[in-house]
């Protein structure tokens, strides 16, 4: 029986382990933390969105510059395959109104415990918690457990050590140091699916704390998306911001700042907004007029006041235009430690089509450890599952 060492017990390593056992391999799974799937558990706290129902072409396009490399993996292990696998594990999923797929039970605890039960019921599986891969030299893995260093000569390896966001979950990206010394190119980690900072006034910071900007349309570089953003004391976050976080972050890197534009009334045309604003105001304050005529929330009105010149409220036509196209200047991304995911990792040029390291035949890598990124919407987990699937396919071919 052939043995595979899997490093990293996140979704990537756990799924690779599952598939390998099914194929008759024995698996030793190592993780530096005392429990598996710490980030997966955290992700489940806000409703785990495991994949979505977009057609494969649209799905692959979400991976931006890495669409070409990710597309074969997504074709071999599709979003439907993922849902089917979950069902086999006894985990029901459902499709939300926008095609996003979630777990029926809230949180990821049940998923993780069923997954671990299934692995641990196989006598060919062994989980080694608190084993941190600290070095790789001359074809050997150096794993630290308490004060001991264990040296493994492992011909078949799958590494799924994740990216560098939320390091407290174990995904600390420290592996970058020894991977670089293996003559492997890595791309620097950057925050992805993150919030951005803006210079709010002290008054605004104090009064608008974690308020939701519901039903807005966000435009960046002529691309728009509708959704709900959150105003925080440091700036903005939320799914429409995350959707463009890669582009906004890169734009800030180049130009020092980036402007996004918010439509506060996406269901009304500019003419309709103008008409409603021109309705008789009577004794109403301008804020009440905005609230009554346009149903603008208190948060939207505060934001409008924060970002516009005072005299705009005396000119209803300019006010209407600003409501439909409110510029917000974003100055910097929030730190990677707070980001949902990270860009960067092992460069695709080091990998073959099965995610095998060309310079280290028999050693594979998958998941967020590889230099691909994607917006939220189930693309991250699907990317981890599909690349883990490819790595296992690669092992099967290599070990044959
Ligand atoms: C708040 C939050 C919400 C999210 N929500 C979603 C969502 O709804 N949908 C979605 O698709 N994605 C979501 N994600 C992203 C998703 O959780 C990640 O993309 C996914 O967990 C990455 O899987 P992975 O196995 O590649 O890496 P990870 O889950 O990061 O796992 C890597 C594992 O490797 C271990 N490790 C690292 N270095 C070493 C080492 N040197 N030695 C030994 N072990 C090591 C770590 O301890 C860790 O257990 C969310 C993330 C966060 C933070």
DSSP-assigned letter for residue 168: G
**Whole domain around residue 292: which residue ranges?**
196-333
Question: Which tokens sit at 64?
Answer: 């931006």
Give residue-wise pLDDT tens across range 243-290: 999 999 999 999 999 999 999 999 999 999 999 999 999 999 999 999
In terms of domains, do 307 and 345 share one?
A: no
In terms of domains, do 214 and 267 share one?
A: yes
In terms of domains, do 376 and 268 share one?
A: no
Question: Which tokens sit at 319?
Answer: 């006010």
* Residues in Cβ contact with 201 at an 8 Å cutoff, skipping those fewer than 6 apart: 306
Query: Is residue 300 exposed (0-12), middle (13-18) or buried (19+ Cβ within 10 Å)?
Result: buried
Which atom belonging to ligand 1 lies closest to the Cα atom of 162? Answer: 27
DSSP line for 189-207: EEEES--EE----HHHHHH
Query: Is residue 32 exposed (0-12), middle (13-18) or buried (19+ Cβ within 10 Å)?
Result: buried
Q: Which of 295, 266, 292, 267 is nearest to 279 (CA)?
A: 292
In terms of domains, do 326 and 384 share one?
A: no
Q: How far is the CA of 279 from the centre of ligand 1 (A)?
A: 53
Q: Which of 298, 287, 291 is nearest to 212 (CA)?
A: 298
In terms of domains, do 34 and 101 share one?
A: yes
Query: Considering only CA atoms, which residue is closest to atom 5 of ligand 1?
Result: 43
Q: What are phi and psi of 183, to 5 degrees?
A: 60, 35
- The confidence score (pLDDT) of residue 208 equals 82
Query: Considering only CA atoms, which residue is closest to atom 6 of ligand 1?
Result: 43
In terms of domains, do 257 and 391 share one?
A: no
Low-confidence ranges of the chain (pLDDT < 50): none
Domain boundary among 333, 355, 387: 333
Please name the residue that has the structure tokens 């582009």.
247
Domain boundary among 285, 301, 333: 333
Does residue 38's CB lie within 6 angstroms of at least one atom of ligand 1? yes
| Tally of domains within the chain | 2
Q: How far is the CA of 377 from the centre of ligand 1 (A)?
A: 15
In terms of domains, do 218 and 268 share one?
A: yes
In terms of domains, do 77 and 46 share one?
A: yes
In terms of domains, do 125 and 209 share one?
A: no
In terms of domains, do 114 and 228 share one?
A: no
- The confidence score (pLDDT) of residue 138 equals 87
Does residue 388's CB lie within 6 angstroms of at least one atom of ligand 1? no
Does residue 133's CB lie within 6 angstroms of at least one atom of ligand 1? yes
Q: How far is the CA of 206 from the centre of ligand 1 (A)?
A: 34
Does residue 378's CB lie within 6 angstroms of at least one atom of ligand 1? yes
Q: Which pTM was predicted?
A: 0.95
Query: Considering only CA atoms, which residue is closest to atom 4 of ligand 1?
Result: 43
In terms of domains, do 97 and 151 share one?
A: yes
Domain boundary among 310, 333, 356: 333
In terms of domains, do 181 and 265 share one?
A: no
CATH code of the domain covering residue 9: 3.50.50.60
């Amino acid at each position: 029986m052939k043995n595979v060492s899997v490093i990293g017990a996140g979704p990537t390593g756990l799924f690779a382990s599952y598939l390998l056992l099914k194929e008759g391999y024995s698996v030793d799974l190592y993780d530096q933390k005392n429990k598996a799937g710490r980030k997966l558990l955290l992700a489940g706290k806000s409703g785990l969105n495991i994949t979505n129902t977009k057609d494969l072409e649209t799905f692959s396009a979400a991976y931006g510059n890495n669409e070409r490399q990710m597309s074969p993996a997504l074709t071999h292990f599709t979003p439907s395959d993922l849902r089917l696998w979950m069902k086999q594990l006894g985990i029901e999923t459902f499709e939300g109104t926008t095609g996003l797929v979630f777990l029926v039970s809230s949180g990821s605890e049940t998923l993780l415990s069923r997954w671990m039960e299934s692995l641990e019921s196989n006598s060919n599986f062994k989980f080694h918690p608190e084993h941190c891969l600290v070095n790789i030299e001359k074809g050997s893995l150096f794993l630290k457990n308490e004060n001991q260093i264990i040296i493994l000569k492992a011909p078949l390896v799958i590494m799924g050590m994740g990216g560098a966001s939320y390091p407290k979950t174990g995904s600390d990206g420290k592996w970058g140091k020894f991977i670089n010394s293996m003559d492997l190119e890595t791309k620097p980690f950057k925050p992805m699916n993150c919030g951005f900072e803006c210079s709010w006034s002290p008054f605004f910071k104090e009064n608008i704390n974690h308020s939701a900007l519901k039903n807005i349309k966000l435009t960046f570089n002529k691309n728009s998306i509708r959704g709900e953003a959150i105003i925080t004391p440091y700036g903005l976050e939320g799914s429409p911001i995350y959707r463009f976080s890669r582009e906004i972050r890169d734009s800030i890197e180049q130009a020092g700042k980036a402007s996004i534009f918010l439509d506060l009334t996406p269901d009304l045309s500019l003419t309709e907004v103008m008409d409603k604003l021109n309705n008789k105001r009577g004794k109403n304050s301008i804020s009440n007029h905005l609230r009554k005529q346009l149903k603008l929330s208190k948060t939207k009105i505060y934001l409008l006041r924060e970002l516009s010149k005072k005299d705009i409220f005396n000119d209803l036509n300019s006010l209407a235009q600003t409501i439909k196209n409110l510029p917000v200047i974003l100055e910097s991304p929030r730190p990677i430690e707070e980001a949902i995911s990270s860009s960067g990792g092992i460069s695709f040029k080091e990998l073959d089509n099965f995610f095998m390291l060309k310079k280290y035949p028999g050693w594979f890598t998958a998941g967020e450890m590889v230099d691909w990124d994607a917006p939220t919407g189930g693309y991250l987990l699907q990317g981890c599952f599909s690349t883990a699937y490819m790595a296992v396919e690669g092992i099967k071919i290599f070990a044959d």
